[in-house]
Amino acid sequence: MIKDANENYMYAWEKVIFRNYSYVESSKIAEAISATEEEVESFARATGLDKFEFNSAWQKKGFVTIIRNNWDLLSNDAIARFIGVTGKELEAILSDYDFLYVKLGEKPKIETPVYGNPKSNEARLAEIKKIVDETYVKPKVMPFDFYAGEEPEEEGTGFSEGEYVVKDRFISNYCARYTGVLLDDELADYSEEYLKRLKKTGVNGLWLHETLRNLAAFPFVESFSSDYEIRIKNLKKLTERAAKYGVGIYLYLNEPRSLPASFFDKYPEMKGQKISDDEYCLCTSSEKVRKYVYDAVKSVVESAPLLKGIFTITMSENPTHCYSRSWNGVTGHTDCPVCAKRKPYEVVAEINNVMCKAVKDANPETAYISNIWGWAEYMGWSMDDTFSCIDLLDPYADVLSVSEFDKEFTRGGVTSRIIDYSISVVGPGEYTVACLERAKKAGHRIWAKVQVNNSWECSAVPYLPVFELMTEHIENVKKLGVSGVMLGWSLGGYTGGALTACSDACKIGDFDCRSFYRKQYGKAADSVAAASELFCKAFREYPFSVNSLYEGAQTLGAANLWSLKEDGKKSTMVCFSFDDYEVWSAPYGLDVYINQYRKLCEGWEKGLEILEKAEGNALFSEYVRMAKASYLHLNSAFLHAEFVKLKKDVKANERRLSEIINAEYENAVGLYALMAQDAKIGFEMTNHYYYAPANLLEKLLNLNSLKKTLESVR
């Protein structure tokens, strides 16, 4: 039996200080653990944390990081105080900030940490300080300073003039807040400087998400749409600001949103599918609901006449109409007595057409784009159902499909299919080709959603150095005759990396990646081309699956804490990865999964060897940082998988486990050093920083403890 495998490197109250010092005020930390502020500062001095200066930006721009770091340590009330919100506001963040409550997983039972006298542990604190001192690097850039230290203006961006065959190219803002942007009258997340940078890439559109009740009056309960006047005013302002740079603003609507059960006491005729005892869908078969949606969408478009487009998703995680999700695990079913008499595709086409007519009536210059994500087998739809829905759409509606959806591929002898978020498997899939051809034949403009720069395959790095895979995908969808491309979801929008290359690939003619490299990286172009070829070949070995994307260890990378004991925990979406390999290695199985990652890492190492021998401009230096950071995340996932396998028999595998721990230690040190050089590393819009410097230092303490445990079993 392995005892205290990863718990004995710090007590819970010490972890509270370690994970929050310089991110949260010392007075708040002290209050959370029943200590004095001086006791917190004393611990910081004893462990070397006093090198880190307090940065208040974490509480406004990195509150997701703070929540994640304290999820297993503190009550929600204490966490709320750390980020300066009320308990009710924290509940809203957990619910509305891109399903944060799902990412964090079930809240563990918390015993409030209480400060203890550290003097009895002076030797251990000295050991912690030694590791912190040895690893600490004075940061060249501050967190959230995403463009600090970047290339001088005169260096090439790769952008070149030319006629676009794919006219519209839009993406999300890499560093904007996921919600609340339109409550800021300054629109700081969409500054003039940011829009200038975006224009240089050749991308001419930005999308952002907002709910309809936040943009237009909800006529039934006024309080449900409070502050909508502020948001719609600022949406108009944003469209005007962006238009000066040739950038159009697209609004993502996923409507109509569900409502509390109490609402339907007064409006029973609008009551749709039951979600829970406290929540129901608005039934879109109700004329009253359709009129509300029409009026609200029309109001939004009329209020922001420069709005470039609205795109919708009508089958999604959010409960909207009565067929919008699987209820109780049953697809293509509803308990709504009205909608149950109708086909799912009839309900979906109808609500799309309501919104489409509203857009068309308000401003024919504003595009209406229907994203057909979820019109698929996993939601109980046949291909005939999808075709029927496309056929029922208003001719004014454009049709967008995730390009790689349903693409078949084989890795490690295992054949599978893509849903979305793939760079390693290049689309389009047969489903997308068939659906877009059907839509085009019916007179609809067609769009493809591709994923550029990064994906959930490795989302903590702003771009993966596999540009040829991304531009190959663009070239493929270009042949379908698409009018536009959506270049990514909430991730991948950094105004650098492959974004310019992918935009250039949308022009008439074939894209030449080597020519792009020469403009971008100068004398290092040949080295980049040679390394990239190896990176792309290696990345095609990625053990892709939805399980791997969401539950795999590549997201937190070297910040993911380990234990030599079986942890018995469930991994969570793009967050914590634990021992439940049956989940994150599916459908490959653990051995194949490990072998695929081994091939990926070995190929990547060969590419890094080429880059280490080359010299180039500042853009090249950034490319090298991204290549290294990508490797460190992918290699951590490989090591984690092998570690989980071998720890089932610690004594028999002690030697290899020691090697794995040492290799992971180097990964954490390397990632820490890169983070000190580049504020982009570790950040994603909806997750903020997956890890702070303190998390990487804590991993070193964790690994050091594991080394000692292994020594005891020799």
Q: What is the pLDDT of residues 657-670, one digit of tens each?
A: 999 999 999 999 99
CA distances from 16 to 326, 359, 569 (A): 39, 50, 21
What pLDDT digit, counting tens, does each position of 667-711 carry?
999 999 999 999 999 999 999 999 999 999 999 999 999 999 999
The pLDDT of residue 155 is: 45
The pLDDT of residue 3 is: 43
Domains of the chain plus CATH, in order, are 1-136 (no CATH), 168-523 (3.20.20.80)
| 156/375: higher pLDDT | 375
Section 298-308 average pLDDT: 98
The residues facing 369 across adjacent strands are: 311, 398
The pLDDT of residue 149 is: 65
The pLDDT of residue 712 is: 86
d(CA 518, CA 449): 28
CA 526 to chain centre: 32
**pLDDT > 90? residue 604:** yes
Residue with tokens 């238009």: 243
Q: Which uninterrupted H or E stretch holds 205?
A: strand 205-209
Cβ atoms of 110 and 75 closer than 8 Å: yes
Section 249-256 average pLDDT: 97
By DSSP bridging, strand 248-253 and strand 259-260 are: unpaired
pTM of the model: 0.95
Helix (H/G/I), strand (E/B), else coil: 389: helix
CA atoms within a 13 Å half-sphere pointing along the CA-CB vector of 689: 30
d(CA 705, CA 9): 6
d(CA 223, CA 217): 9
The pLDDT of residue 347 is: 98
How many CB atoms within 10 Å of residue 3?
A: 10
d(CA 501, CA 465): 12
Identify the CA nearest to 626 among candidates 503, 490, 494, 468.
494
Helix (H/G/I), strand (E/B), else coil: 319: coil
Section 619-643 average pLDDT: 98
Confidence band of 161 (pLDDT split at 50, 70, 90):
low
Please report the DSSP string for 493-535 in residue order: --SSTTHHHHHHTTBSS---HHHHHHHHHGGGHHHHHHHHHHH
How many CB atoms within 10 Å of residue 694?
A: 23
